[in-house]
Each structure stands twice: as C-alpha cells, then as structure tokens.
Amino acid sequence: MPKPKLDKKLKIILISIFSLLLIVLIILGAIKISAYRKAYYYRYTDAGRREKVLIYLERKYEQEFEILKMVDETIAFSVPNYQADCIPKGGNQETECFTVWILPNGKLSFDSSGVVFDDRHAADNYFGVLIKPEIERLLREIVSKYFDDTEIRITLNSRYEYELNESSQYVDFIDRGYHILTGISILNVAYNEEETLRLIHEMYVDFKKSGLDVWGQVYYSYKNEESQTVSSRITMDTEKV
C-alpha cells in the first residue's frame, strides 16, 4: 500500500508547482498590463504627454517648467508626434518661450520613480533661450564696428541635441555650427549705397571669421541722386561670403 501514498505526495507537489507557476504568470501579466497602461497614458493622453514633456525638461535642465500649449503634428512618413510650447516656471512668455518636440512612440521603460523614456526621441530649443544674450552680444560687437545705430533681432530655433543644456556655453553652439537667423536694421541713412553694401559684406565676413553661422535680412536706407531717402534690404548668408 505504499504506492498510493507516493502518488498522493507527487500529486500535492505537482499541484503546488502548478499553483506557483500560475501565481507567477498572473503577476507577470499584471506587470505587463500595468506597463501597457502606463505606455498608453504617456503616449496618447493629454495629461500623460504633458507629464512626459516636464519629465524630459526637468531631467535635462534641472529646473521647473510650465507648458503653455500642446500641439499635435505629423512628420515624415506619417509618423505622429507632438510639440509643446513651454517657459521656465514663472518665466517671460515673450522672451523665454521655447518648443519641445517628442515622438509618442519613443522607447519607454519604468522604474520605481515613474516613467523613464529614451531622451533621443525628444528635442527642444531652450538652449537657444539660454545663450541668446551671449550670441546677441557677439553680434553687436561685430556690427558696431561697421555701423553706429542698429537694431538686431535674433531667432535661435534649431532642435538642439540633448548634450546642450544649462551647463553648455555659446562656444558649444558655435562648434556645432548651429544657424543664427537675424534681422539687422541699419538706422543710419547712408549717402552711398555702394559703400553701405561693401560694409555689410565685410560685416558678414567678420561673422564668418568668428565662427558664427548667420543668415537673414539686412535693412538699410540711403539717399539717391535726388536726395530722396530710399529703403532697401539684402539677404545675407555667411556661407556665401
């Protein structure tokens, strides 16, 4: 009669193993479902997208930010992504507004602190806000050598790479060859258009020697032969001087 006892023990062991495996599968399934729910939340819900933008920015720049608005867009090959217009917390909407672009189908993973996603699927141009005063100073130093009274408008809206953050310098911007879009207005009324154009050309050569990649419009005025004031403009690019 010892055989039935052995069968009974074996049966209990097999049931225990099966129960344990079932518990493990249930736990793994619950984890997977939770991960899918989190992925869906961060990729496709407005609240999740907003949270994802702020996580990306706060990790990169180590400061707090505010989102002004979210905009959906579609890029090449119909890949959906979205962008957010942001400012530093309590910042100026006129001078400190910048854009963040994030692909919702970027790689996502999770840890005990929350979402962790691949930052290579995101980009922003806040670095342009950080370095704008220094770039403007460099431009003014060069412009002032050629013209006394000017107004300069600068646009720095490239999608800067992740390595450029609050600890980067303007030289990092220059070394990577990022583009500076400008509008330069020469307020002095010149008496010789040819001389004005020569100085503008020399000014852009100076930009180029300084490592600045500058493109944009230069507005100027001059007196014609009838002593009438004529307003004109010329498109300049450091790559073409």
Query: Which are the contacts of 164, defined by CB distance < 8 A and separation ≥ 6?
Result: 127, 172, 173, 176
Same-domain status, 53 and 38: yes
Do residues 141 and 176 share a domain? yes
Decide: residue 204, CB within 10 A, 0-12 exposed, 13-18 middle, 19+ buried.
buried
Residue 152 has pLDDT above 50, yes or no: yes
Q: Is pLDDT above 50 for 236?
A: yes
Do 113 and 144 belong to one domain?
Answer: no
Last residue of a domain, one of 97, 124, 151: 124
Distance CA 79, CA 47 (A): 21
**How many domains is the chain built from?**
2
Sheet holding 150-155, edge to edge: 150-155, 179-190, 213-223, 229-237
Q: Which residue has the higher pLDDT, 126 or 25?
A: 126
Contact 72, 79 (CB under 8 A): no
H or E stretch at 51: helix 46-61
CA 19 vs. chain centroid, Å, equals 51
pLDDT tens per residue, range 34-43:
666 776 777 7
The three-state secondary structure class of 240 is helix
- Last-in-domain residue among 108, 124, 140: 124
- Residues 103, 186 within the same domain: no
Helices (H), 79-180: 126-143, 170-175
pLDDT in the model for residue 74: 53
- Cβ atoms of 188 and 223 within 8 Å: the answer is no
Q: Who wins on pLDDT, 16 or 89?
A: 89
Q: Domain range for residue 13? A: 1-124
What pLDDT, on the 0 to 100 scale, is given for residue 115?
47
Q: Are residue 144 and residue 203 in the same domain, yes or no? A: yes
Are 150 and 71 in a shared domain?
no
- Confidence band for 221, pLDDT divided at 50, 70 and 90: very high
Helix (H) / strand (E) containing 187: strand 179-190
**Residue 131 tokens, joined:** 């370095």
Helix (H, G, I), strand (E, B), or coil: what is residue 128? helix
> Does residue 10 surpass a pLDDT of 50?
yes
User: Do 117 and 133 sit in the same domain of this protein?
Assistant: no
Shared domain for 82 and 38, answered yes or no, is yes
Who has greater pLDDT, 47 or 170? 47
Percent of the chain topping pLDDT 90: 37
Based on the fold, state whether residues 157 and 231 are members of the same structural domain.
Answer: yes
Interatomic CA distance for residues 5 and 7, integer angstroms: 5
Q: Which pLDDT tens digit goes with each residue over 41-55?
A: 777 788 888 888 898
Same domain, 109 and 197: no
DSSP for 215-237?
Answer: EEEEEEEEE-TTS-EEEEEEEEE
Which of the listed residues 96, 124, 152 is the one where a domain comes to its end? Answer: 124
More confident of the two residues 4 and 225? 225
pLDDT score of 113: 44
Q: Note the pTM of the prediction, 2 decimals.
A: 0.70
pLDDT tens digits, 58-115 = 888 889 999 999 887 655 444 457 889 999 999 999 999 999 887 655 544 444 444 4
Tell me, yes or no, whether 156 and 221 share the same domain.
yes
Check whether residue 120 and residue 7 sit in a common domain.
yes
Residue 187: phi and psi, rounded to 5, are: -85, -20
Place of tokens 């100073």: 137
